[in-house]
A and B are shown apart, each in its own frame.
Chain A
Amino acid sequence: MQASSEPPVVLKAAVHVAVILCLATALVHVLLVFLQVAPPNPLSRQYSRQVNAWVFPLFEQNWRLFAPDPESVNRQISARTMHTAPDGTVHVSGWFDLGAVDTAAVKHDPFPSHTSQNMLRRAWTSYLETHGGDDRPRSQRALMIQQYLGNIAVDRVAAHRTGAFESIQLRVITLPIAAPPAASGHSPGAAAPRPTDTRYLPWWKVARHATS
């Protein structure tokens, strides 16, 4: 091969610009992702606008995996329905355990579905985040989550029971997981089993009528 000549100046400059852009983008990206992952601090507060503009939505992340503490409760979420017959009599159904469907599906399945592990669980935690202690939706998002939770309940009840209904109510029983025997032996205060908590949500009109 013959001796090579120098590449054209324009090309060289373009390559340099590209290289610098790549490096700068990578560095800035790493820095901004760090600021999003880290707990709020003066730096991330000062640059929160830039951080959010860059990171959201694609690079949003949260690695609190079973942290700071894993959930120490199981939740039994049940639903019952109300049907008003043409003659005006109101019929309220018994409770249907929505979560039991999930537990049964997960049991003895080496690769459980997201519908069993994440759907109801995350819908309820999102409901708690957006509604807090009472059931009054304070934001657009809270309304959306409420509708989502209602839809899940309606779909599941309709899939397992026959009969029309116009409203649905959810009941959430929080069952604390007992502390391990050894741990409770050391600290008598923790030994007392925490009480189970039952929360009744208001009746919701069924927006999306599901039939089985």
Chain B
Amino acid sequence: MQQAEQTSAPATTPSRPGHGAERGSARTPQRMPDRIGTLLTLLLERPISLYAAAVLRIGYGFLYLAFLLREFPHRNEIWGPGSPWTPTLARQLFDQTGWVSILTLSDSRAYFEVCYAAALVTSALFMLGWRTRAVSVLFAVVVTSFHARAIYMTDGGDTLILLMVLYLVVTACGRRWSLDARRTRLRASAVKTDRLPLDQASGELRRHLRDARLTVITVLHNCGMLVIAAQVCFLYGSAGLYKVQGAAWGNGTALHYALNLDVFQPWPELSAMADEHDVLIAIACYLTVLLQVAFPFVLFGRLKYPVLTMLLGMHLGIALFLGLPLFSGAMIVADAAFLPDRFYRYLGQLWRLTTQRDVPRHHPPQHLGHQPLPPTRALPVPRGR
């Protein structure tokens, strides 16, 4: 994450004195304060990985929407008043654990249906990035409520989604690829000339207030993204280290057992077929442990790209073989947070090119300004200096 920001910095932050020192790495000890200063400027003034934050927003919004829709036939059984984990049991547990949920405020079925519908709408709006900050808070309330209500039906995927959704509240995840970004862009091009300059004194104060607000938002975002990165590292690190302690992972048979669990066998024929290749199973076991343990350590070098690619393959395998697409999806989205912004800008360009070629009639030129071009477009925070 940080690396991505540094490499793209020269294009967007022209000639800042401390910058050369940072890139040229500390050749002399005197440069150290300079480097810390640069890092601090980075932290205070430049929101890191805005595209990755947008990908997290879109990814988790989409996953939760898909989850809610998938469980539509079972909604009452999982979260509703008709669940075997009755509202009374849930409230009793909340008293012991401190969880809260809007779903236990009433035992009426109608109230539950309203909550469920509201959850669908909130997930969709969050995914689209409409009034993102406010909606992200609502979405966090929704996910927490549904998670807490059915705490004994959750798995690792649900936990990860909850954590990420909580962290996303403090990030500026609506700055890219969102309805908010679209509105800002349209307004900027429409009202540029209309805005009258304010009188001197109040204009100054307003500008200072705006700057202060921007700084705080930027720091919050950066801290949020760093916490997300640390969280994913903890996840992989501990998942890997716990596996190291297991005999089955050590002798390469763990996946044999995983493939033979009844409820994680959507395609029994496929599982049986994979199970026959004991050498491949053993290799996959070792690779899984190695990748998970290595994850936190490869993030700062180029090795992260092959590792992320292999993890993607691993999660697609889990989704298919074990029937855990929600869990795998949550992990894939989390991994995507580590891809640099220039990668996502490139994706945006690609997308623009294909849409341009395929359906030129449906997309008038002003519509195509969706994804900002990397070299020309300035960074999101116009700072008064």
Structural contact, A67 and B245, CB atoms closer than 8 A: yes
Structural contact, A74 and B262, CB atoms closer than 8 A: yes
- Given A180-B278, A208-B86; A37-B238 close (CB under 8 Å): yes
Contacting residues of chain A (85-120) with chain B, CB-CB under 8 angstroms: 99, 102-103, 106-119
Structural contact, B257 and A70, CB atoms closer than 8 A: yes
Q: Mark B354-368, 1 if CB is under 8 A from A, else 0.
A: 000000000000000
Which of A1-9, A40-48, A165-173, A192-200 makes up part of the contact surface?
A: A1-9
- Given A118-B155, A147-B89; A63-B235 close (CB under 8 Å): yes
Is the CB of A128 closer than 8 A to any CB of chain B?
no
Structural contact, A71 and B257, CB atoms closer than 8 A: yes
Query: Can you list 20 A-B pairs, Cβ within 8 angstroms, ordered by A?
Result: A7-B211, A11-B212, A33-B231, A33-B234, A57-B98, A58-B162, A62-B159, A66-B258, A68-B243, A70-B257, A71-B257, A71-B261, A113-B70, A113-B71, A113-B73, A122-B152, A122-B153, A140-B92, A151-B85, A151-B86
Residues of B within 8 Å of A152, CB to CB, are 84
Residues of B within 8 Å of A1, CB to CB, are 384
Residue on B with the closest CB to A120? B263
* Distance of A113 Cα from B325 Cα, bound (Å): 10
Structural contact, B153 and A70, CB atoms closer than 8 A: no
Contacting residues of chain A (59-73) with chain B, CB-CB under 8 angstroms: 59-72
In angstroms, how far is the closest chain A Cβ from the Cβ of B168? 14
In angstroms, how far is the closest chain B Cβ from the Cβ of A113? 5
Further pairs besides A37-B238, A114-B74: 18, Cβ < 8 Å: A2-B200, A12-B212, A57-B97, A57-B148, A58-B144, A67-B242, A71-B261, A74-B261, A111-B326, A112-B263, A119-B153, A122-B153, A151-B86, A177-B257, A180-B281, A183-B251, A183-B253, A208-B86
Residue on B with the closest CB to A56? B98
Which of B14-22, B130-138, B222-230 makes up part of the contact surface?
A: B222-230
Contacting residues of chain B (159-174) with chain A, CB-CB under 8 angstroms: 159, 162-163, 166
Structural contact, B263 and A116, CB atoms closer than 8 A: yes
**Interface set of B (CB-CB < 8 Å, partner A):** 43-44, 66, 70-71, 73-74, 77-78, 84-86, 89, 92-93, 96-99, 144, 148, 150, 152-156, 159, 162-163, 166, 200, 204-205, 207-209, 211-212, 215-216, 219-220, 223-224, 226-227, 230-231, 234-236, 238-239, 242-243, 245-249, 251, 253-258, 260-268, 275, 278, 281, 320, 323-326, 384-385
Structural contact, B257 and A69, CB atoms closer than 8 A: yes
Residues of A within 8 Å of B220, CB to CB, are 22
- Given A22-B219, A22-B223, A119-B153; A69-B246 close (CB under 8 Å): yes
Residues of B within 8 Å of A114, CB to CB, are 71, 74, 78, 150, 153-155
Structural contact, A19 and B78, CB atoms closer than 8 A: no
- Pick from A74, A103, A154, A208: contact of B260, CB under 8 Å: A74
In angstroms, how far is the closest chain A Cβ from the Cβ of B234? 5
Structural contact, A11 and B96, CB atoms closer than 8 A: no
- Chain A contact-residue range equals 35 or more
Residues of A within 8 Å of B153, CB to CB, are 114-115, 118-119, 122
- Given A11-B212, A68-B243, A70-B257; A123-B249 close (CB under 8 Å): no
- Pick from B89, B261, B275: contact of A144, CB under 8 Å: B89
Is the CB of A141 closer than 8 A to any CB of chain B?
yes
Structural contact, B204 and A4, CB atoms closer than 8 A: yes
- Given A67-B245, A110-B266, A115-B77; A18-B219 close (CB under 8 Å): yes
Structural contact, B204 and A56, CB atoms closer than 8 A: no
* Distance of A82 Cα from B89 Cα, bound (Å): 25
Is the CB of A148 closer than 8 A to any CB of chain B?
yes
Q: Mark A22-45, 1 if CB is under 8 A from B, else 0.
A: 110110011001100110000000
Residues of B within 8 Å of A70, CB to CB, are 246, 248, 254-255, 257-258, 261
- Pick from A2, A63, A113, A154: contact of B242, CB under 8 Å: A63
Residues of B within 8 Å of A148, CB to CB, are 84-85, 89, 152
Residues of A within 8 Å of B249, CB to CB, are 67-69
Structural contact, A151 and B84, CB atoms closer than 8 A: yes
In angstroms, how far is the closest chain B Cβ from the Cβ of A193? 14
* Distance of A182 Cα from B243 Cα, bound (Å): 21
* Distance of A61 Cα from B234 Cα, bound (Å): 10
- Given A106-B265, A111-B325, A177-B257; A15-B242 close (CB under 8 Å): no
Residues of B within 8 Å of A103, CB to CB, are 262-263, 265
